[in-house]
Amino acid sequence: MKKIYSPDRSEWNRILERPTQTVADIEQTVEAIFKEVRANGDATLRKYTEKFDGVVLENIVVSEDEIEEASALVSQELKDAIQLAKNNIEVFHKAQKTSKVSVETANGVQCWQEKRPIQKVGLYIPGGTAPLFSTILMLAVPATIAGCEELVLCSPPNKEGKINPAILYTANLCGVTKIFKAGGIQAIASMAFGTESIPQVYKIFGPGNQFVTVAKQIATKHGVSIDMPAGPSELLVLADDSANAAFVASDLLSQAEHGVDSQVVLVSTSKDMIDAVEKEVEKQLQKLPRKEIAEKAIANSKLIYVEDDRTANDLINAYGPEHYIVCVENEDFFVDNIKNAGSVFIGNYTPESAGDYASGTNHTLPTNGYAKQYSGVNLDSFMKSMTFQKISETGIKEIGAAIEIMAEAEGLEAHKNAVTLRLNSLNNG
């Protein structure tokens, strides 16, 4: 990990850069695959599944038999853990329900807002080196609570042409309606356009590598919404001498093992803590099964010393971390003053892993600095706000003249006339 001491503010943008390619580097590849999927559907899916996943598929649809077989392969211990996490996620997301907002804005003018579910949603679940069945809980549970009618899930198959059993078990448990063996750019394109097998959806959710992230962004050009630009995982830990260096190191490594393009950052007002964490990272790293992946991510990571709390807080807001752990004595200051973060974890006994799995909050969060303008996935992510209004005879008389004057001032005579006709009918009645 690279140590940086008291960086000048003019250097912050440079030292806080993510180790990711730009959209321009990947966009050409994404556009080419999108064009092929749109033209050739399932045939293109099979072509790229063979190329990228190393397997020839006869059928990309996951059958009921495969789901039953997968369920039998998942241990009862894991099923119980998944159920506990599902319960907590349901509790937290059900609490986010809001009631209808209704108000009479003027005498006889009734306006209200209601939330309605997005009918068709697509869930992308990464497979590969880390099959993220936990992401299904984070997406399918709130989608079901919201009342989405169709939940389409895509996940890449392994070399045997199968999806990880825990993914299939969890998807079935959480009410996913259709599951497909498709990954990467081609899966995003399939949900954006629809193919012979995969239905077109209205909004696509889920994390992925840089290619998936750009594919989701390109999908928005084709009339499909996305949750957010969620790319390689990242974590920033703020720690002073009140923190436990071993805990801090374990949190940094928990994100580093996600992928070689993950980034972890430690910010501290203590040089002793920085040194202690660096030693703990090296020590714990040796015991990790995913050591090779974590090592490459650690190479992209930073240990940053700053002199005081206010500078630390400004630096963190400039970075806008996906995950932000606060382990300091003056925690209230940092919790009160954080402006840009996907999800915040407070105290020595709140590991980021808790939010990844079972505390109840959602782990699908904005990365790459997008926490400055995007929220993480929540119940409202699966809903749309619709407004309604009903105007009585009294109401149109109340606001009609103002509408006429404003429409005329904008040169929109037909707008004015729509009101004038109604007012005349009431006056002549």
Does the annotation flag 255 for ligand binding? yes
Map tokens 């006709």 to a residue: 421
What span, in angstroms and rounded, lies between the C-alpha atoms of 42 and 198? 8
Does the annotation flag 363 for ligand binding? no
323 is known as an active-site residue: yes
Out of 278, 323, 352, 363, the active site residue is 323
Phi first, then psi: what are they for 57, rounded to 5°? -105, 130
Burial 14-40 (b: 16+ CB within 10 A, else e): eebebbbeeeeebeeebbebbebbbee
Out of 36, 234, 322, 352, the active site residue is 322
Does the annotation flag 217 for ligand binding? no
What span, in angstroms and rounded, lies between the C-alpha atoms of 62 and 172? 11
Q: In what order do the strands lie in the sheet with 109-117?
A: 101-106, 109-117, 383-391
322 is known as an active-site residue: yes
Closest CA to 181 of 289, 63, 34, 336: 63
Dihedral sign, CA of 166, 167, 168, 172? positive
| 256 phi-psi bin (left φ>0, alpha ψ -120 to 50, beta other) | alpha
Hey, which residues does 181 pair with through a beta bridge? 155
Distance of CA 147 to the CA centre of its chain: 19
What span, in angstroms and rounded, lies between the C-alpha atoms of 138 and 144? 11
- Which helix (H) or strand (E) is 238 found in, with range? strand 234-239
Does the annotation flag 222 for ligand binding? no
Does the annotation flag 209 for ligand binding? yes
Does the annotation flag 233 for ligand binding? yes
Specify the pairing of strand 101-106 against strand 109-117: antiparallel
What span, in angstroms and rounded, lies between the C-alpha atoms of 46 and 59? 9
Does the annotation flag 415 for ligand binding? yes
Dihedral sign, CA of 291, 292, 295, 297? negative
Does the annotation flag 356 for ligand binding? yes
Can you read off the two tokens belonging to residue 26?
A: 């990947």
Residues contributing to the annotated binding site for substrate: 233, 255, 258, 323, 356, 410, 415
Residues catalogued as catalytic: 322-323
| Binding residue ranges for NAD(+) | 124, 186, 209
**Binding site listing:** 124, 186, 209, 233, 255, 258, 323, 356, 410, 415
Query: Which positions make up the binding site for Zn(2+)?
Result: 255, 258, 356, 415
